[in-house]
Amino acid sequence: MPLEWSSSPPELLLAVDRTSGRPLRAQVEQGLRTAIRAGRLQVGERLPSSRELARTLGLSRGLVQECYAQLQSEGYLVTRPGSATRVAACAAPSPGAVRPGPAAPGLVADFQWGVPDLGAFPLQDWLRATRAAARVMPTADFGYGDPRGSAVLREVLAGYLRRVRAAAADPEHIVVCNGYAQGLGLALRVLADDGVRTVAFEDPGSPATIGAAAAAAGLRATPVPVDEHGIDVRALASTDARAVVVTPAHQWPTGVLLSPERRLALAAWARERDAIIIEDDYDAEFRYDREPVGALQGLAPDRVVSCGTVSKSLAPALRIGWMLCPPALVGPIADRKQRSDRGTPTLDQLALAELIESGHFDRHLRRMRTGYAARRGALLAALAEHAPEVPVTGLAAGFHAVAGLPAGADELHVLAAARARSVGLYGMSVCRASQAADPAQLILGFGNVGIRAIAEGIALVADLLTGRP
């Protein structure tokens, strides 16, 4: 459903470059066409009046009227007497179309993992939410405020986590942070203060990120193997760890789901060891052919710090995350947060709260699930056509897949050869604590690469994936 403004004209982000030598009218027309084709301006959405857009861009009203008339003749816009200019229905992207994400410079396709569709950020919704939040933001909120974060956002997040993630969420137990990395660092420092000396992590997993955070907190990081059921809890129990970092909803990077038996065993381990589980709930919103699973935190709220962010659901650049903490850790983590940076920007927090409460966040997630599912299908179709013997796993959720390479394949050679063909591929070895390249596997991220680029990229490297000459 298009956004509506009741009394003030809608904002529209367009840019003109007066030094480029290109006619200003051509720049405005192209900017509007691009915004409509990419879905940034949606069917039925109201455009600013010609007078308002002319004022905003510093142009003549007549020039803007000519641009609107040209785009109306091309079928992009529609105008009715006494009504605003709106995006025409026939200008909608075709069903299932996915906005292409830009590849790295010079690459036909870049299968980089962990990056969402950056071109799909709901900019107009975010601008609207920011304006709405700023209009009602109390004067007192311009101060430093509660180190746990905005009470408004914490209340909204608690409701969202209860509704979507089946978490035992109390707004008093949420600490807002600047993304997952900061949240992990804060939790580990507090645990170190409490006498924890070793933190365990999944292998394969995120050895670099967790190792760096552990070292900064003065902790030792130890890997624990993962199998088709998730982290091996018996192996975990054989270590001296009193903390563990896990990705139970969609294990990074294998994509396996922590089984119900392992969930119960992990919670029991935490209680018996007087330990803390740090849950990285990084992309649970995106699932395709399985039922949703609740957050591990709902099973053991007194033993789990559940970390979430909008880095995958919206964009990493927002740097907004949260920690749903056991009651005993809320105060120490909030104190650490205050000493670290005095808090996360309040206006951004209020904008996120508005985005969620208005329903635009849920709408965005539904749209992105459809888009990622289309890319997932394109990846599977391309592999089936060009490299049918390549095993692919980890596709039940998220926006990456794991592809197996032939026995004896040299991972580094495959990555270098693909790069020489202008395709970015990434190996599993960096996710293993040992950095071992055997078995040789690739992690194929498809979040920020377009459908056409997926097909072209796989076709270009098919022989590298299969080992066929």
The structural architecture, per CATH, of the domain 123-360 is 3-Layer(aba) Sandwich (3.40)
Close Cβ partners of 88 (under 8 Å, ≥ 6 residues apart) = 43, 72, 75, 76, 77, 78
Identify the sign of the CA torsion 430, 207, 341, 302: positive
Structural domain boundaries in the chain? 24-91, 109-121+367-466, 123-360
- pLDDT digits (tens), the chain, 469 positions: 343 333 445 677 888 888 888 889 888 988 898 888 877 888 888 888 888 899 888 999 999 999 888 888 888 898 877 678 888 876 555 443 334 444 556 799 999 999 999 999 999 999 999 999 999 999 999 999 999 999 999 999 999 999 989 999 999 999 999 999 999 999 999 999 999 999 999 999 999 999 999 999 999 999 999 999 999 999 999 999 999 999 999 999 999 999 999 999 999 999 999 999 999 998 777 777 666 788 999 999 999 999 999 999 999 999 999 999 999 999 999 999 999 999 999 999 999 999 999 999 999 999 999 999 999 999 999 999 999 999 999 888 889 999 999 998 999 999 999 999 999 999 999 999 999 988 999 999 999 999 999 999 999 999 999 987 7
The phi, psi pair for 176, rounded to 5°, reads -80, 140
Query: Which architecture does CATH list for 24-91?
Result: Orthogonal Bundle (1.10)
Cα dist from 319 to 122, 177, 220, 309, whole Å: 16, 8, 27, 8
> Rounded CA gap, 305 and 187, in Å?
8
What CA–CA distances, in Å, run from 59 to 23, 31, 67, 76?
A: 12, 15, 12, 21
CB–CB of 414/464 below 8 Å? yes
Say how many CA atoms lie within 13 Å of 333 toward its Cβ.
28
CATH code of the domain made up of 109-121+367-466: 3.90.1150.10
- Dihedral of the CA atoms 397, 403, 404, 408 (nearest 10)? -150
Q: What are phi and psi of 175, to 5 degrees?
A: -120, 120
Cis peptide upstream of residue 391 (ω within 30 degrees of 0): no
